Structure 1
Amino acid sequence: MKILYAIQGTGNGHLARATELVPLLQKLGETHVLVSGIQGDLQLPFAIDYQLYGLSFIFGQQGGVDITQTLKKAKPWRFWKGISQLPVHDYDHVISDFEPISAWACKLRKKKCIGLSHQNAVLHPHTPKPKNQDTLGKFILKHYAPSNPTFGFHFQSLGNSFFTPVIRSTIRQAAIQQLNHFTVYLPAYSDQAIISALTPFQHINWQVFSKHTKHAYREGNIWIRPVSLAHFTKSFTTCKGILCTAGFETPAEALYMGKKLCVIPMKNQYEQACNAAFLEAMQIPVLTGLKNQHQAIQHWLEQNQPAPIHYPDQTFEILKKLLQSA
């Protein structure tokens, strides 16, 4: 059995989840890996068979997607070339984690594409949604990487095809501690914006993982270093809490470990607005940005440590079910 597993490379959450899924897929069949997008920072521990430019949302430095840079860096001819040249009929199964080239290649060739992503679960009718409906954002989420059948992951189970999060083995097997630091991952903010917001909390040791630096440095009680999965995981598993975007993988792992969690949804990003609504329903603090948030951050820092949420290790069974049902 030949499997093509296609990963969205905008951001690091999809890539981090792939480190768990790909080795399991390799146990089920000959697995080739496709990564598209230009915003990922992580080095994957397995071979990539197709590295494509894709269609990426470019992170800005003011808290959201940079629409101008996203349009400027879009290369529709390369996107179409990837779709037209991808040999999807060479595979028994194509699985897309919100990856558009594989999804559209299958759609145009009338080949089944299995969608396995958090985004599929976000569209579920029973998930909390933001008060301000984003029609364009919802349209993009629905049509960016079309697939059928669809399976998904969310903070809570939503039925037979929508599961609790994939928690990486490195997290499950880690010695979870609460040392004297807080971890920060806000890739859509500049280093200076983060430093300005956190400097007033002189009694806190902040460990910031930045998308905008290639060298580690310190600013008083704030330690800033480039994104690295190994270094981030070490900081994350031993922190008191984490301040991060309203993505999926990092908040889910924080909930699993019982870490204090506070999220800031990226602007112009409908999925993160939906995630924030779900987390807010779970009593997780949600900030609208970094500016003028001193009181809210202080309140979060003073909260008691939450109880861990049990997310069962069922990833291999999910993958077997997915391939059998398809």
Structure 2
Amino acid sequence: MPKKLKILYALQGTGNGHAARALEIIPLLKNFAKVDILISGSQSQVKLNEPIQHTYRGVVFYYSKRGGVNYLKTLFNNSLISLFKELNKVPIRDYDLVINDFEAISAWACKLRKVPIIGLSHQASFLSDKTPRPAKKDWLGELILRYYAPVEKNIGFHFKPYDNFIFPPVIRADIRQAILSNLGHYTVYLPAYADDKLIKILLKIEGVSWQLFSRKAKEEKQEGNVLICPIDAKEFAKSITSSAGLLCSAGFEGPSEALFLGKKLFVVPIKGQYEQYCNAAALNELGVPSLKVLNEQSLEPLRDWLQKEQNIQIDFPDQTKEILEREVFATSKLGT
């Protein structure tokens, strides 16, 4: 009997999107191989429900209260020496293949030790010049997207197949199988903004019910027309599937889920995150409105969005298993 392949699935823990995607991909990978998990960073509230064999600090991003990356705090609280120590600790040669969702520690360990690695991420889609960009390109942002987590082969996910290696988003089963309704509330997820700043703005829009998912909240709390909820994948799915729309950052998974569900969508990119500016540009092309920053001057664009219909027809077929079979195993030297 042939030896079963051993795969390391490596992902960032700096946001919820990578973990949400992993929830769908890891069970499928187990049909082909024994799978271990590596996660770097600790800012994700989405639980994987899987044993994690390797945990590293990785690169941790810090945010200001006003919705942007605090670069000084990020710089001074991340040690290059510590990153190199973690890189050398990864038992990368124990694996036949590494599948990487924009995770730097395992990517550079593979590059230095010549271990096969495939990128399976949203960020991989930006290696194509055909993927939408904002009017003003950011050379540093482009360098980060290209070199932060280098791999041998890229498989990207995006809102549209802008290139031949780009595929539809991985949509969670909770979202695909949900029974849709519209109870009139709007779901909010803007993790780079402080709760007090968001609540102050949302309270000014009367007659609208908001469900704000907060990194800081430990339990549900009602404040005027704003219900503040702790982050929980199942509760978020319940909220968005019964909502009138979603107000969120310009990440990838949240907007993808809103588009899949046919919900109204409005995005605010995290200041200083070039990838989110690119996502906002792509969403603008689809007809989704965005703002560079959320403040009291944002009230009119938000009210305008709330009053208008938004009918964006887009289909995200469930191709994840097929993509793994065709793009990962059938084309690799490992076979199945």
- TM-score category (smaller protein): over 0.9
Instruction: Tell me the CA shift for residue 307 of structure 1.
Output: 4.6
Which deviates more, 237-246 or 286-295? 286-295
Match of 1:293 among 289, 298, 311: 298
Partner of 2:239: 235
The equivalent residue for 1:158 is 162
119, 123, 130: which one aligns with 2:123: 119
What pairs with 1:121-270 in structure 2 (closer than 5 Å)?
121-270=125-274
Matched with 1:319 is 324
Instruction: Output aligned runs, 1:26-37, within 5 Å.
Output: 26-37=30-41
Q: Does 2:120 correspond to 1:108?
A: no
Question: In 2, distance between residues paired with 1:281 and 1:59?
Answer: 28
Deviation at 1:201, TM superposition (A): 1.5
1:165·1:252 contact (CA, 8 Å) conserved in 2?
yes
Flag structure 1 segments of 5+ consecutive residues without an equivalent.
none
- Quick check: 2:128–2:163 contact (8 Å CA) kept in 1? no
Return the alpha-carbon distance in structure 2 between the equivalents of residues 43 and 179 of structure 1. 27
Equivalent residues of 1:217, 1:223 under 8 A apart: yes
Name the aligned partner's letter for residue 30 of structure 1.
Answer: K
| Inter-partner Cα distance in structure 2 for 1:144 and 1:21 | 22
Measured in 2, the distance between the counterparts of 1:308 and 1:235 equals 21
Deviation at 1:149, TM superposition (A): 0.7
Report how far residue 91 of structure 1 moved: 1.0
Contact preservation (8 Å) 1:122, 1:154: no
- How far the C-alpha of 1:169 sits from its partner, in A, is 1.0
Shift of 1:123: 3.0
* TM-score (ref. length: structure 2): 0.94
Separation (CA, whole Å) in 2 of partners of 1:14 and 1:170? 16
Q: Does 2:76 correspond to 1:72?
A: yes
Q: What residue is the counterpart of 2:15 in the other structure?
A: 11
The one-character-per-residue Cα deviations of 1:169-222 (angstroms, maximum 9, x if unpaired) are 111101011112000000000111111211121211100001233333221010
Distance 1:231 1:113 in 2: 34
2:174 and 2:234 in contact (8 A); partners too: no
For residues 294 and 164 of structure 2, what CA distance do their matches in structure 1 show? 38
Question: What amino acid maps onto 2:331 in structure 1?
Answer: S
Q: Distance in 1 between matches of 2:200 and 2:55?
A: 37
- For 1:324, give the aligned amino acid: A
Structure 2: stretches of 5+ with no match in the other structure: none
Q: Which amino acid aligns with 1:130?
A: P
What is the CA distance between 1:54 and its match in structure 2?
0.7
| 1:303 aligned residue | 308
Aligned residue for 2:212, secondary structure, equals strand
Percent of aligned positions that are identical? 46
Measured after TM superposition, the shift of residue 305 of structure 1 is: 4.4
| C-alpha separation in 2, matches of 1:251 and 1:64 | 19
Query: Shift of the alpha carbon at 1:308?
Result: 4.6
Moved over 4 A (4+): none
Residue identity matched to 2:165: S
Distance 2:86 2:329 in 1: 25
Question: What's the TM-score, normalizing by structure 1?
Answer: 0.97
Greater mean deviation of Cα atoms: 99-108 or 57-66: 57-66
Confirm or deny: 8 A CA contact 1:193 1:290 kept in the other structure.
Answer: no
- 2 CA distance for matches of 1:222 and 1:40? 23
* Amino acid in the other structure paired with 1:299: D
Match of 1:21 in 2: 25
Equivalent residue pairs, number = 326
Secondary structure, aligned partner of 1:325: coil
Contact kept? 1:258, 1:307, Cα under 8 Å: yes
Matched, 1:280 2:284: yes
Q: SS of the residue aligned with 1:27?
A: coil
RMSD (Å) for aligned C-alpha atoms = 1.2
